[in-house]
Structure 1
Amino acid sequence: MNLIFSWAALRALTPTPGSGGVLRSRPEDFVVEERPTYLPSGSGDHLYLHLEKVGHTTAHLARELTRQLGVKTRDLGIAGLKDRHAVTRQWISLPAKFESRLGDFQLEGVRILKASRHTNKLGLGHLRGNRFTVRVRGAAGTAGQAQATLDLLGRLGLPNYFGPQRFGLGGLNAEEGLKVLRGESELRDPQVRRFLSSSVQSAVFNRTVSLRLERGLFDQLLSGDMAKKRDTGGVFLVEDAQAESPRAERGEVSATGTLFGRKTKPLTLDAGALELEVLGEFGLTPEVFASRKGDRRLIRIFMEDAQLQPEDDGYTVSFALPKGSFATSVLRELMKTDVDAPGLADDPDETDPSDEDNAGDAG
């Protein structure tokens, strides 16, 4: 099994025709708005900045804040990471004592939309998710097809694939990540090593989702699955798959997949057998991920407030996703193209939060 990322290797959910089209012709064609877990209270020792940026990664913005204002990196609070190929709006916190220096901060493409105080530093993952507004150009006359697909996704849910941003330029990160996990890499930067090895976790997870789709198990449960309740977020072991699967068909619960690591127990029974089959396709075992902490990730997610507006040359689609999920998974279903083919990758520190090292979604 090839570790190089390719949409063609991942099963789509919807059978509807794709609209085709082109993304990101202009930065304003891809807008990402962070949905915070909470808003600043207006008082406290931490200053929350609502920032809009174009042409910068969150990591680069953070470096400029530390350089220009004198803030220590450890004192910056960031809930999620956003990439440079979009107009993105997010919150960043810093000690309130630096408020008087904000007038000296200048970075082309960055605006401070709002500043307010709060009692605590913004924490990694302190966001509900992101809202995306995306213009698809070069797809005239296909808005009806895209709407039909969007309606299906609203009912069925969305395959929670890791998008190409996780796999770097050319989609090659997982191949180097496997060398890291096996102790064969000469790379020494710990942040880069974590990012690359997480790409292997992502590749295995993506294949698991795709295989469940191939076998009609996307909206079904297997014995041994760890399923998550949509309303409360509670997780439970599936012992009687036949009894629980109707709830999955209704979207009330969904299976989770394993991001293998030392603190995450592999699934058992039928679900465990499927994941071991996937690992075997890559020539891997759970033990190779001993350097990773590990986590669980939903196989299926649901959009919120999805809307589509026809345009002269295509359409604009908007939707909200939970944190850690990729807008490209929606756009792939709508367009049925190699959406954001690996090549738009940002810096290694600009990643997605679905494992223990990262928080945010670049889209």
Structure 2
Amino acid sequence: MVEGIVSLVFEWSALELLTDTPGTSGQLRAAPEDFRVEEVPAYLPSGEGEHLYLLVEKRGHTTAQVVRELSAQLGVRDRDVGVAGLKDRHAVTTQWLSLPARYEARLSRFALTGVRILETRRHSNKLGLGHLRGNRFVIRVRNAAGTADQAAATLALLRARGVPNYFGPQRFGLRGLNAEEGLKVLRGESRLRDPRVRRLLTTSVQSLVFNRFLSLRLARGLFDRLLVGDMAKKHDTGGVFLVEDAAAESPRAQRGEVSATGTLFGKKVKPLTRDAGELEREALSTFGLTPELFASRRGDRRLTRVFLEDAEVRPEEDGYTVALTLPKGSFATSVLRELMKTEVDVAEENPEERDQEETA
């Protein structure tokens, strides 16, 4: 490794926390039922059309595994099965899938342990990636050293100020190593041929740079403030604008009306400029990277902060349950890390075994 350049391995400890309240510690995912995720759709199927929507509950499977089994058992091409989002394996999750309605008669032959089809309904178009509003989480924290009241106090701060929109360890694979292989893909040095795996690995490099950019903002008191050159996003309308006067716009950020965005580098998105651009270049240089390296990616902008909906903590005999709704593409582990102050969900599977949100 070049002297002064930080490792590409994901570590929570390298990322700034927003809250300084006591952590509860505790255990997650003692059983799949301890981590429940319900997709919040952008729209419900109309009841008419050439596509059949399936409301699927799964336990112990990734979304990709369910899609592969549907395809194999019903004779549907993988690309004809639509999904809005990708859900965890070690959880009980509910989401909509779609397939051409002509396969409806074959559904009776589908069987997969841990998977139930709860409802079917017709719609006019295929379900597309990103066609969801968010996800509702109900998560059990067991064997907590801290109290539910402590968790509730931290959650109250997050409700007021927002949550750092970090990419969680799910994005970075076993021992957080995906970005190292992703860099090889970007440089043309990888022997991997599966296009889906290559895409997920390169996405992890984008995500690592974004996390660093966001962490620098927290470290310098810029979580709810803006810099000249920021591309800020309005939370009510989704409109994005260039910040020319940081002093004038920062009060809007402190009121939660707007937030800065970070760059997921690629050919379709321009890097930040001026003061914000300097911070972004610092994040890149931490890993010895440049924007040009991401020319094979499409690119996007991502909010540095998201706000919780319907968030609450309920005490349990040996810990607590936290329930909350997050917008699409955001990770509940970013919230849990603030509550627990531990290395939440580290050391997960490789990218072929774990689903990841693809946002760029």
Scaled to the shorter chain, the TM-score interval is: over 0.9
Deviation, 1:73, is 1.5
Alignment partner, residue 214 of structure 2: 209
Q: Which amino acid aligns with 2:141?
A: V
What is the alpha-carbon distance in structure 1 between the residues aligned to residue 233 and residue 120 of structure 2? Answer: 36
Deviation, 1:188, is 2.1
What is the alpha-carbon distance in structure 2 between the residues aligned to residue 132 and residue 346 of structure 1? Answer: 22
Alignment partner, residue 78 of structure 2: 73
Please, which of 194, 197, 200 is the counterpart of residue 195 of structure 1?
200
Alignment partner, residue 234 of structure 2: 229
Matched, 1:110 2:111: no
Q: Is the 8 A contact 1:83 1:346 kept in 2?
A: no
- Classify 1:155/1:344 alpha carbon distance in 2 versus 1 (closer, same or farther; 3 Å): farther
Alignment partner, residue 139 of structure 1: 144
Q: Which amino acid aligns with 1:35?
A: V
Q: Which amino acid aligns with 1:200?
A: V
Q: 5+ unaligned residues in a row in structure 2: which ranges?
A: 1-5
What is the alpha-carbon distance in structure 2 between the residues aligned to residue 336 and residue 140 of structure 1? Answer: 11
| 1:82-135 Cα deviation digits (max 9, x unpaired) | 121000000001111111111111000000111111111111110001000000
Q: Name the SS of the counterpart of 1:42 in structure 2.
A: coil
Please, which of 218, 223, 238 is the counterpart of residue 223 of structure 2?
218
Matched, 1:55 2:60: yes
- Classify 1:215/1:248 alpha carbon distance in 2 versus 1 (closer, same or farther; 3 Å): same
| 1:199-227 Cα deviation digits (max 9, x unpaired) | 11111000011000000000000000000
Alignment partner, residue 3 of structure 2: none
Matched, 1:82 2:115: no
Deviation, 1:140, is 5.6
Alignment partner, residue 121 of structure 1: 126
Alignment partner, residue 69 of structure 2: 64
Please, which of 3, 6, 11 is the counterpart of residue 8 of structure 2?
3
Deviation, 1:346, is 5.2
Q: Is the 8 A contact 1:52 1:111 kept in 2?
A: yes
Moved more, 72-81 or 109-118: 72-81
| 1:234-283 Cα deviation digits (max 9, x unpaired) | 00000000000000001000000001111110000000010011111111
Matched, 1:313 2:288: no
Alignment partner, residue 178 of structure 1: 183
Alignment partner, residue 360 of structure 1: none
Give % identity. 71
Alignment partner, residue 300 of structure 1: 305
Alignment partner, residue 150 of structure 1: 155
Q: 5+ unaligned residues in a row in structure 1: which ranges?
A: 356-363
Q: Is the 8 A contact 2:203 2:358 kept in 1?
A: no
Matched, 1:33 2:38: yes
- Classify 1:346/1:113 alpha carbon distance in 2 versus 1 (closer, same or farther; 3 Å): farther
- Classify 1:299/1:59 alpha carbon distance in 2 versus 1 (closer, same or farther; 3 Å): same
Deviation, 1:141, is 5.2
Q: Which amino acid aligns with 2:279?
A: L
Q: Which amino acid aligns with 1:339?
A: V
Q: Name the SS of the counterpart of 1:207 in structure 2.
A: helix
| 1:22-61 Cα deviation digits (max 9, x unpaired) | 0000110000000000011111111110000001111010
Alignment partner, residue 247 of structure 1: 252
Aligned residue pairs, count: 355
Matched, 1:12 2:17: yes
Matched, 1:287 2:292: yes
- Correspondences of 1:326-337 after superposition (within 5 Å): 326-337=331-342
Q: Name the SS of the counterpart of 2:47 in structure 1.
A: coil
What is the alpha-carbon distance in structure 2 between the residues aligned to residue 220 and residue 32 of structure 1? Answer: 32
Q: Is the 8 A contact 2:159 2:308 kept in 1?
A: yes
| 1:269-306 Cα deviation digits (max 9, x unpaired) | 00001001111111111111111111100000101110
- Classify 1:14/1:349 alpha carbon distance in 2 versus 1 (closer, same or farther; 3 Å): closer
Superposition TM-score, scaled by structure 2 size: 0.97
